[in-house]
């Protein structure tokens, strides 16, 4: 697990070491797009890893939430970036983020319903014991 995150943490620390406090504030005021994208990608990867490796459906759901939030972060970042360039469609990204939150909520509701139904039938929520898609 650590082996995966190690290069990312190394880059983060390296950046922090290089920067002074003022520059940090400046970066907060005028964020650098690539850093947000980097964090979004990090979140996405964590989510994907969670989906692929965990057995419990609940945890997989949580990982999926991570993936969607990674996408949200990207939307927000691009929206902010476009605002600084003066584009007229800059707010669209934020609207999409709201949509995704709504969809995620609905998906969670349905997904959890499915999980309960599965549990009632199969008496398990461990994904590797459920191979119904084969049929």
Binding site for other proteins (CB under 8 A): 48, 51-52, 60, 127-128, 130-135
Cβ nearer to other proteins, comparing 5 with 80: 5
**Smallest distance, other proteins to C-beta of residue 118, A:** 11
Cβ nearer to other proteins, comparing 92 with 108: 108
- Strand pairing partners for 56? 126
Give, rounded to a whole angstrom, the gap between the first and last alpha carbons of the chain. Answer: 34
| Residue with the two structure tokens 């469609």 | 89
**Smallest distance, other proteins to C-beta of residue 134, A:** 3
**Smallest distance, other proteins to C-beta of residue 130, A:** 8
Dig out the tokens for 96 from the structure. 């999409």
Report the half-sphere exposure of 2 (CA within 13 A, side-chain side).
Answer: 1
Cβ nearer to other proteins, comparing 18 with 134: 134
């Amino acid at each position: 697990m650590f082996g995966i995150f190690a290069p990312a943490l190394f880059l983060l620390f390296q950046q922090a070491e290089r920067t002074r406090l003022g520059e940090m504030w400046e970066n907060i005021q005028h964020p650098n797009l690539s850093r947000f994208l980097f964090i979004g990608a990090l979140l996405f990867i964590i989510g994907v890893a969670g989906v692929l490796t965990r057995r419990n459906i609940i945890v997989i759901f949580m990982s999926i939430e991570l993936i969607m939030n990674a996408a949200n972060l990207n939307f927000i970042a691009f929206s902010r970036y476009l605002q600084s360039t003066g584009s007229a469609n800059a707010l669209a990204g934020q609207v999409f983020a709201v949509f995704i939150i709504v969809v995620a909520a609905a998906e969670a509701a349905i997904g959890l319903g499915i999980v309960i139904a599965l549990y009632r039938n199969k008496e398990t929520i461990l994904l590797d014991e459920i191979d119904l898609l084969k049929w």
